[in-house]
Amino acid sequence: MSQRLFARCAVAAAVVVAMVPVGASGQEGTGSSPSSPRTPWGEPDLQGLWTSATLTPLERPERLADKTALTDEEAAALEQQTLDSRVASDGTAQAGTVGGYNQVWLDAGSVITESRRTSLIVDPPGGTIPWAAGAEAVYDREVARYGVGPFDSWTDMDTGERCLTDGLPNMVPLQPYNMNLLVFQTPGEVVMLHEMYHELRVIPTTDRPLTGIEQWTGEARGHWEGDTLVVETINFVDKPDAFWSSPWRKSRSSLRLVERFTRVGPEAIDYSFTMEDPEVFSQPWTVSAPMTTDQASRGVTAGQLWEYACHEGNHAMINTLSGARTLEARGQQ
């Protein structure tokens, strides 16, 4: 399953965070810190530049089905193997290869979570996505289209390829780059700027009523539960062609996303999310993906968000569609 989930990337998502101990619920760092910083108006301060990427996979690999956590020795061996593999493959891409042909282009880190868990999914306990009947087969068919087609029109390119969005939650480590998140706060709002697609989320933390207007990243409302910011997002755009390569990012009216952000130290946020969509999943499922600002020591770009140079109407779109028409004219499609 994990290989299918990373079908869009030639490399597994890397890099990670400083982690906090596993709490009683099985999630990492579920408590709050007594020294948690506060804003001038008294709310927990989540502001800063964060990253949540990790070598720990979203789903537990089949070979580790009965193993919830690695030993320290196993974790160290995996990290060293990853480092050695990157050094060996760096700059060895074939001529004409486009994209991240060496590690300069990736936010490649070197460690897994401190808890040594074998999956970021903490519920269900088996560490895999709980698909509803038939949903996984639909997903597999959609993933098989990526890079292959058919490409009859621009709508056959998913929203990521069209430089629109990869949906939410796009801070989770399922991509090899642009995993940074910049957080601002004002009284009554939390603002999150994602490096990927430069998506901006303005999350009210007051009783502002929902508009019911569907949006690519849904309509979010937040509230504080102690030191934890809880963000509930609904009203996602219901488009059948959106995000077809990412099952948890399906853009549909039945999706409900609940995120939790808890500052647990000067350089750490305990982040988790729960996905609920009865049309796709047999039950809600929860991911724990701690975030950190300790980027420089983990091989991640530090200090600022960089430009995300993607735009609609780019050459990839033009070339893909014109190439498909050329193949049609040759009778090869």
Q: What is d(CA 255, CA 276) in angstroms, rounded to the nearest whole number?
A: 6
pLDDT of residue 250: 52
pLDDT of residue 188: 96
Mean pLDDT of the chain: 78
Share of the chain above pLDDT 90, in %: 36
Q: What is the mean pLDDT of residues 150-161?
A: 82
Residues β-bridged to residue 228: 225, 262
Share of the chain above pLDDT 70, in %: 75
Domain boundaries, the chain: 16-54+121-329
pLDDT of residue 47: 94
Radius of gyration of the chain (CA): 20
Q: Which residues of 53-86 are buried (b: 16+ CB within 10 A; e: fewer)?
A: bbbbbbbbeeeeeebbebeeeebeebbeebeeeb
pLDDT of residue 21: 31
pLDDT of residue 29: 44
- Cα–Cα distances (Å) from 265 to 18, 20, 202, 268, 300, in that order, read 10, 9, 24, 5, 19
Q: Whole-prediction pTM value?
A: 0.81
**Joined tokens for residue 218:** 């849904």
pLDDT tier for residue 173 given thresholds of 50, 70 and 90: low
For tokens 């579920």, name the residue.
30
How many CB atoms are closer than 10 A to CB 209? 7
Summarised one tens digit per residue, pLDDT across range 223-272 is 999 999 999 999 988 765 544 445 545 556 788 999 999 999 888 899 99
* Secondary structure class of 184 (helix, strand, coil): strand
pLDDT of residue 83: 84
Q: What is the mean pLDDT of residues 64-86?
A: 91
pLDDT tier for residue 17 given thresholds of 50, 70 and 90: very low
pLDDT tier for residue 60 given thresholds of 50, 70 and 90: very high
Q: What is d(CA 245, CA 143) in angstroms, rounded to the nearest whole number?
A: 5
Summarised one tens digit per residue, pLDDT across range 120-136 is 999 999 999 999 988 88
